[in-house]
Structure 1
């Protein structure tokens, strides 16, 4: 029973880096919806890569004599994990603590791999494939936005209202369905169909704080304005 529980925990922890990698990539770039098997394969491959790098780093660090005496041996764990880890309570806690550190390192590596932090910007731009399957939102909000600029969005709604604000987040699904949302940040522009005032609304706390969530289902037109940011902003 104990062995089965430990095995499940190890398997679950091994796939955490892949889940982190896939989640971060989805937040950064548009990704077409894939089947469950293909998505699972992506998680497995990313997990294997991150875990391999983490274990390689751990094995390299154990060449330091001091660390050899203060960390578990991978060879012993593979050869006889139960007897090695359960020799005494202190040994078991020591192994668990190092296992948590290795998993945390693998998760950090997966996050760095998703952000392409190990490559210079020019190299990333050169080798990053051109995204052909992308939504108009991604093109206007991200791909075509000038560098070091903020995106101001003005949405004309089906009921005649006009809502505007700085773009805080948007759904990056490549399928341009009505079940998509975008999130605006203050300062907000709020105009009713009868309003003729083009100034930002000062009604309530919405003018100074919070977020505004709009559904694509209710938006007729989106005006996108790029505001250049200065170094002091």
Structure 2
């Protein structure tokens, strides 16, 4: 770890593109919990690649516009003397190249985070996003006390683990059947939050759309099976 403020700032700057990559992937895809080694490796690897790409861009700019770019050779030879005389130019180019590396990392994260690998999908992610993305299906849940609740899926925990410590949010129209009863009744509330720990069986009904049967058949052919939390 860095022992000076300058070293700490330099470390943060060097790893900023990789941190950008990891954060955007977490926001746009299924939440994963990799080991510290893998997460650190992803940050460092992405930072190195994007900053190398930024340096290649600088080299091209230096070859095409030598008068508008810092002279790296003089910077190496003269050190702080050259940096003091050209601090504004050095600062603008450093910030610009860092922003370019971060933008490149963000673009890579956005392109690769749309659909996680099957090994990183939870049953909820498969039902609510993987099969028919962008839709809010009708969801019915049988709870452990025998009651039943039904509504439109509004939000769900995107963790890649099928953990009972997460929640599902359903919105109106909501229907509820108390324990021991046989009739389902509409309720006047706008939303309901259900703990996965209380769900015994989950049913999902997708809105009808052209080609839905064909797509569902293709999913079944690939060996995917509906999952219940």
Q: How do 1:163-202 and structure 2 match up within 5 A?
A: 164-173=151-160, 175-183=161-169, 186-187=171-172, 189=174, 191=176, 193=178, 199=186, 202=188
CA deviation profile, 1:142-190 (whole Å, cap 9, x unmatched): 2222x664444444444636253334453232x2222234455x55526
What SS class does the counterpart of residue 205 from structure 2 fall into?
strand
2:100 aligned residue (100, 105, 110) = 105
1:116 aligned residue (111, 117, 136) = 111
Q: How do 1:1-233 and structure 2 match up within 5 A?
A: 4-30=4-30, 32-65=32-65, 68-77=66-75, 81-87=79-85, 91-116=86-111, 131-145=118-132, 149-158=135-144, 160=147, 162=149, 164-173=151-160, 175-183=161-169, 186-187=171-172, 189=174, 191=176, 193=178, 199=186, 202-203=188-189, 206=190, 214-227=194-207
Larger mean Cα displacement after TM superposition, 102-111 or 134-143: 134-143
Alpha-carbon distance, 1:45 to partner: 0.5
Alpha-carbon distance in structure 2 between the residues aligned to 1:79 and 1:229 = 68
CA deviation profile, 1:11-38 (whole Å, cap 9, x unmatched): 2011111112122233444465332122
Native 8 Å contact 1:171 1:181 kept in 2? no
The aligned residue for residue 121 of structure 1 is: none
Whose Rg is larger? 2
**What TM-score do you get using the length of structure 1 for normalisation?**
0.67
Alpha-carbon distance in structure 1 between the residues aligned to 2:209 and 2:91 = 47
Alpha-carbon distance, 1:10 to partner: 2.3
Alpha-carbon distance in structure 1 between the residues aligned to 2:76 and 2:209 = 54
TM-aligned CA distance change 1:43 to 1:213, over 3 Å: farther
TM-aligned CA distance change 1:228 to 1:70, over 3 Å: farther
Alpha-carbon distance in structure 2 between the residues aligned to 1:163 and 1:78 = 68
**What TM-score do you get using the length of structure 2 for normalisation?**
0.68
Q: Number of residue pairs matched?
A: 204
Alpha-carbon distance in structure 1 between the residues aligned to 2:131 and 2:45 = 31
Alpha-carbon distance, 1:50 to partner: 1.4
Native 8 Å contact 2:169 2:193 kept in 1? yes
> Which 5+ residue runs of structure 2 have no aligned equivalent?
211-229
